[in-house]
Amino acid sequence: MPNPVRTALLALALGWAWPALGQTPDLPFTAADIEAAQYGGGALPGGRSALTAKVQLLLDRSGTSPGVIDGFKGGMSQSAILAFERRTGLPQDGIMDPHVWNLLQSFAVRPVTQSYTITAEDAAGLAASIPTDYAEKALMPAMAHTSIAERLGERFHMDEKFIQFLNPGIDLVPGATIQVMAPNPPLRGEVTRIIIDKDNRRVAGYNARGEMLVDYPATIGSSVTPSPQGAHNVRTVAINPNYTYNPDVNFRQEGNDRPLVIPPGPNGPVGTVWIGLTKPTYGIHGTPTPSQLFHNQSMGCVRLTNWDAEELAGMVRIGGTEVQFLDAGVSIADATGTAAPSTPPVAAIALPEDGTAAAATPDPAQPLALPDPLAAPQAQAAPVPEAAAPATDPAAPASDPLSPDPLSNALTDALPQGFVVPPLDPAQP
């Protein structure tokens, strides 16, 4: 039996991270360990584990995003399991079980990790750092990534520290071959309804048939600057937008009392995507800090990871996608009539004695409703760029969708005349 004191000393000597009391130590594991990981019953292990990393990747492929893939059992992963249970008709408790595991196996037809060789382009155009002061941000050429790890983290849906964890002793420089996760390219389909669950911090997209296509973790407003109420519509879509800071219209940062235009980039205030709503100055957008979605607060808007926001931007339709903000105490399950059943829709699943998952995959009460991955991407409409900070009066009634928006007007000359949103780059296999 291992000596816990000796194990702790060894962990400190090797520089292993040690999670909070009650969790398992953050022991090293490899991409091969993630591939070999099998579910043997019970909840996911505490701390960081190869099994949790595998489950996160499979959830990501299903369109039920866990946010960043980092191998840690945490709030965003639990909320993703809960959303996956909701979409498949399972009891909704957010806890891993044999039914969830077996249904996830339909997304495990190819390896969950892959090798990647870093290119010179991965190291190009990096910023030394991103200042917090908006006046200093406005002087920069772009809100670019600050490291190769950060850039690859967004490409492979990973926490940048997890890339380093899987590749100990490897310098992330052009020419180096590393192990990373293997997400699918962005899902395609047409989202006609977006439901925003403030209490559970999830954003779900549905097609015209009422089938859930995607579900993401989000930061949704704050107690000081709450998100809107009721139903609105998608008004604009801008890819890689700039951001206008206007202290007379939005929040005020100490020391900055004049309007400033922050250049585009993944580390900008709205990340790489702005989906503006018919509620002026509010929108759904990306974030420079994806791992903090369940910890940060927003200025009233809805923040997603940049890659989730990019995927959603390819599925919404200007004037054709309703965005519904649920009241406190109302969940997506309540709004869609998918309340949790008391028992699983199939008989109990017995796991083999060796701990590997059963081969048979049970049918859920309702079939999985995933978009056709072969469907042709829809053309992007030309954006009407606007800033993303909320109006000073969040309770003000929504204006006419076609009426002038002061923040849109502030950016009317930000892009060349006739600018058309470029198509999103497909994710690497």
DSSP states of 277-311 as a string? ESSTT-EEE--S-GGGTTT---SSSEE--HHHHHH
CA angle, 141 as apex, 144 and 237 as ends, to 5°? 65
- Across 52-77, b (16+ Cβ under 10 Å) vs e yields bbbbbbbbbbbbbbbbbbbbbbbbbb
Token pair belonging to 338: 């998918």
| Active-site position among 99, 145, 157, 301 | 301
94 φ, ψ (degrees, to nearest 5): 75, 15
Q: What is the DSSP secondary structure assignment for residue 344, as one 8-state letter?
A: -
pLDDT of residue 239: 96
| Alpha-carbon dihedral angle through residues 225, 231, 232, 238, given to the nearest 10 degrees | 70
- Please, are residues 84 and 65 in contact by the beta-carbon 8 Å criterion? no
Q: CA angle 286-81-311, nearest 5°?
A: 30
The pLDDT assigned to 120 comes to: 98
pLDDT per residue of the chain (429 residues) written in tens, 0 to 9: 444 444 444 443 434 443 433 445 578 999 999 999 999 999 999 999 999 999 999 999 999 999 999 999 999 999 999 999 999 999 999 999 999 999 999 999 999 999 999 999 999 999 999 999 989 999 999 999 999 999 999 999 999 999 999 999 999 999 999 999 999 999 999 999 999 999 999 999 999 999 999 999 999 976 666 788 999 999 999 999 998 887 777 677 877 878 899 999 999 999 999 999 999 989 999 999 999 887 766 567 899 999 999 999 999 999 999 999 999 999 999 999 987 666 666 555 545 444 444 333 334 444 444 444 444 444 433 333 333 333 333 333 333 333 334 433 333 333 333 333 344 444 333
Could you tell me the pTM of the whole model?
0.76
Q: Pick from 182, 168, 166: which is nearest to 31 by CA?
A: 166
Cα separation values, 244 from 267, 274, 288, 392, Å: 15, 12, 16, 15
Buried b (16+ CB within 10 A) or exposed e, 235-249: bbbbbbbbbbbbeeb
The half-sphere exposure of 401 on its side-chain side, counting CA atoms within 13 A, is 14
Q: What is the pLDDT at residue 246?
A: 75
Look at residue 345 in the predicted model and tell me its pLDDT. Answer: 60
At residue 215, what are phi and psi to the nearest 5 degrees? Answer: -150, 125
d(Cα 394, Cα 116) in Å, to the nearest integer? 46
Count of all residues that appear for the chain in the document: 429
Q: Which of 157, 232, 285, 295 is flagged as catalytic? A: 285
- Strands 302-303 and 283-285, by their bridges, are parallel
Query: Which residues, at least 6 apart from 110, have a Cβ–Cβ distance to it below 8 Å?
Result: 182
- Active site annotation includes 285: yes
Give the three-state DSSP class for 3. coil
Measure the CA–CA gap between 85 and 89, rounded to whole angstroms: 6
